[in-house]
Amino acid sequence: GICGLSIDVSSQRNELKDALARQQEFFDNLQRAREGERERIAADIHDDIGQHLTALRTELLGLQEDPDIEPDALNRAVSSALTKVDSVLAEVRRICAQLHPHLLRQLGLAEALRSRCVDTAARTGHSFTVDCDSYEPAISPNDELELFRIAQEVLTNIERHANARNVSVRLTSAGEAEGTARIVLEVSDDGTGFDPADLRTRRTLGLSLMRERARRLQAAIEVESSVGPDARRAVGTRVRVEVPTN
């Protein structure tokens, strides 16, 4: 009896230690992800907004130093300056949308996802197929935000690492007739693929956070990908998330 009790307590202590270690690992990953996101935002501001503002300042200084500028030249300079202002405003909106997807609150998950895909396609040249027609909202706004963040992470990974040409995004409601109602998000690409088991890659951090978001949704997540024998060969990656709604 005493020996058995000692074994049980020891087992529970080990389980608690493992749980605390996993929790600490998640928080460490989360902190690294936040720092990485800050670095990306700083790079966006410096590389895009900073360059546009520097060019705009140069043009305005040129106008200031040339009081006798001809009307046609003035019009061209003003038009060029306005184009740069428009570019800065567009970049600010893009960064703000990444930080807080306002369309998600205003129009819902399907429209926010479509908008994110349109933005990515315009920036990268990827060809997108987006199907959200059968989606019926059945989860809370906070859960929709979690699912959107998973999709956002997948699309960011595709943009940065996949070298893909085509991307498919599907958001559907399924299983209601069978009593297993669920929302299914599936994102796939025809890129070079990666090894999900390779803990040395930066992408693993994103996968860890996606799995944690899925856990909070009580959802199942599948990540299928592989690296081809030839780095130029398109292998592809598929991420599927199923969120129960009943």
Q: Specify the pLDDT at position 109.
A: 92
Q: Specify the pLDDT at position 201.
A: 46
Q: Specify the pLDDT at position 166.
A: 94
Q: Specify the pLDDT at position 81.
A: 86
Q: Specify the pLDDT at position 167.
A: 95
**SS3 per residue for the chain:** CHHHHHHHHHHHHHHHHHHHHHHHHHHHHHHHHHHHHHHHHHHHHHHHHHHHHHHHHHHHHHHHCCCCCCHHHHHHHHHHHHHHHHHHHHHHHHHHHHHCCHHHHHHCHHHHHHHHHHHHHHHHCCEEEEECCCCCCCCCHHHHHHHHHHHHHHHHHHHHHHCCCEEEEEEEEECCCCCCCEEEEEEEECCCCCCCCCCCCCHHHHHHHHHHHHHHCCCEEEEEECCCCCCCCCCCEEEEEEEECC
Q: Specify the pLDDT at position 228.
A: 59
Q: Specify the pLDDT at position 56.
A: 83
Global confidence as pTM: 0.66
pLDDT in tens, the chain (246 residues): 545 444 566 778 888 887 788 777 767 766 766 666 677 677 777 777 777 788 888 888 888 788 788 888 888 888 888 888 888 888 777 777 666 777 788 889 999 999 999 988 988 899 999 999 989 888 998 899 999 999 998 998 888 888 889 999 999 998 776 778 899 999 999 988 876 566 444 445 677 788 888 988 999 999 988 765 554 455 689 999 999 987
